Amino acid sequence: MIKKKNALTLFSLVALALVGCGSGSDDPVNEQPDTTNPLLSCPETINILVDTGLSGAEVTYVAPLGTDNSPSPVTTQTAGLPSGQLFPIGTTTNSFLVTDSSGNTNTCSFDVIVSIPSENEPYKLAGGVETPSGKKWSKVEDLSDEFNGSSFDDTKWHRDPASDGFGWYGRPPALFESKNVSVSNGNLNVTVEKLASSKTVSGNNYTHGGSIIRSKTTAKPGMYYEARMQANKTVMSSTFWIAYKQNCFSGPERKLELDIQECVGRFSGTADWAVDYANAFASNTWRHSRPCDVSVSEQRPGKTVLTEKNNSRFFVYACWWKSPTEMLFYLDGEYTHSITPSTNFDLEGHITMAIETYDWNPIDAANIIETGSVDDRSTKYDWIRTWELKDE
């Protein structure tokens, strides 16, 4: 009996051993090789517009990271520039490779395109002003100027208030003087000053100097107006607007004003409504009081407060005078605010740049009009461009 028990036990052990050897899942000889490629997905094309004169743009993006059915696939960048680097003008192709532990790979690529806005369409058109179906924007040359060269274009602009037909010589204490206007370094420059001696003009006393520039060709509804401007650093203004002539006898009876941008370089006053005028895109429409029209002026302001000072850099301020009842405003090519005026803006006007003084922002003891550099005392216009819609 003892011998039979030993024989049975030996048989059972051999059988168990054979069963263990036949398990295919743990047998490296029968294991299937990994031939599945890892997954890798890149971002869409990134388009960046930069101002003229810049060499490129710092671009950040989420770098792709590969995934796989095996642990810890490795993703590397094989071409292009890492996120956060300065990407040059042009197209940079960024390529990535992912490799898994079995040597399987996958790749993807995407482009970063850095370009300068075209002079042949509104600034950053794709991100800003729309183009109605079947239309295109066409530049109005008589209401546009790149301010290249070294001479002021007297065929397009008035700079002498005695000849522009408005008869306005400045709000005291600042007198509009044409000698303060110049063209250099690709800009229209208006430099403010303290007069060597006070002047009396039309019964008003002036101690400081600014200037006013007006278009000779009239601006009309439907057009898109933009200026690339850097404000001066003084208490005096930097502006871009449309002025309208008025006459109670010969008409028009309404005295209108469309302010696209009106700011100051430094705020020195106490008016609560103006505390951010040194760092704001401030627009307005006015119907001024006149004996033959309304007795109280009507205004409809619109404003976007900025995180930067208007004198810190060039900004592109723009307005689409879309219709007599709709004004759309754009900053650096992006829509910011709208105004519905109190009356129809159906009159023709004149593009105006006035550098002047205000009683709500007085010249104080801390002003730099006498001590500041010419650069700090100058409002600079890189260009002014006007566009109209035409059939494609």
Decide if 132 is inside a domain. Answer: yes
Structure confidence by residue, pLDDT tens digits, 108-140: 999 999 988 888 889 877 567 888 999 999 999
A 10 A CB-CB count for 177 gives 22
pLDDT band, very low/low/confident/very high, at 391 (cuts 50, 70, 90) = very high
Decide if 11 is inside a domain. Answer: no
Decide if 36 is inside a domain. Answer: no
| Two tokens, residue 134 | 């079947």
Collapsing DSSP states into helix, strand and coil, what is residue 320? strand
Higher-pLDDT residue of 287, 47: 287
Are residues 244 and 107 part of one domain?
no
* Residues labelled catalytic: 257, 262
How many distinct structural domains can be found in the chain?
2
Q: Which of 61, 95, 115 is the last residue of a domain?
A: 115
pLDDT band, very low/low/confident/very high, at 263 (cuts 50, 70, 90) = very high
Averaged pLDDT of the chain: 92
Are residues 185 and 75 part of one domain?
no
Question: Per-residue pLDDT for 345 more than 50?
Answer: yes
pLDDT band, very low/low/confident/very high, at 148 (cuts 50, 70, 90) = very high
Of 29-33, 59-63, 152-156, the poorest mean pLDDT is in 29-33
Structure confidence by residue, pLDDT tens digits, 369-382: 999 999 999 999 99
Number of helices (H) and strands (E), helices first, in the chain? 1, 24
A 10 A CB-CB count for 199 gives 15
Angle at 105 between CA 99 and CA 109, to 5 degrees: 100
CATH number at 245 reads 2.60.120.200
Question: Per-residue pLDDT for 31 more than 80?
Answer: no
Are residues 175 and 55 part of one domain?
no
Question: Per-residue pLDDT for 255 more than 70?
Answer: yes
CA distance 334 to 2: 98
Residue 314 amino acid letter: F
CA distance 330 to 372: 31
pLDDT of residue 238: 98
Are residues 328 and 215 part of one domain?
yes
Q: Which of 84, 115, 146 is the last residue of a domain?
A: 115
Taking CA atoms, 129 is separated from 38, 152, 328, 373, in Å, by: 43, 30, 9, 37
pLDDT of residue 124: 76
Are residues 325 and 224 part of one domain?
yes
Terminal-to-terminal C-alpha distance of the chain:
109
Q: Which of 65, 87, 115 is the last residue of a domain?
A: 115
Closest CA to 354 of 95, 168, 226, 98: 168
Q: Name the residue range of residue 340's domain.
A: 125-391
